[in-house]
Structure 1
Amino acid sequence: MQTAELKLKVVKEITELPDEQFIKVYDALVEVLHAPIRTPKFGSAKGLIAFMAEDFYAPLDDFKAYMP
């Protein structure tokens, strides 16, 4: 099913809902569509990694055939 067909199907199903359900779905859609787009900030994950293995940068055994 194409995206346009799916959109039309969803709109049709939403418009056929009883009034109370339609209002709930409509309000939820408006909230999702008007949510601000958050952009990641440099350094915002600093301090989240609590543990890193000592051999983290060691070569993996699976790639030995490709290494010189």
Structure 2
Amino acid sequence: MGLFSIFKQKKNVDLETERRERLRQKGRICDGTIIDSEQSAQGEIVFYVYSVHVVDFESSELLSEEQ
């Protein structure tokens, strides 16, 4: 059963929460540049740009207290 347990998906675990926690602890493997930020009722929103394989992307993220 050892081999199959590697491929068995975890039960009762929110994979998105687990992914965010891992990223919060270790960070991302990507460089980006913050181009703007603003305060909202929900918290601070940052706007940033980053490149992946010579393609530029622009995005935004609502920051939590931990970030």
TM, length-normalised to structure 1: 0.21
**Which gives a bigger RCO, structure 1 or 2 (Cα 8 Å, sep 6+)?**
2
Larger Rg: 1
More strand, by proportion = 2
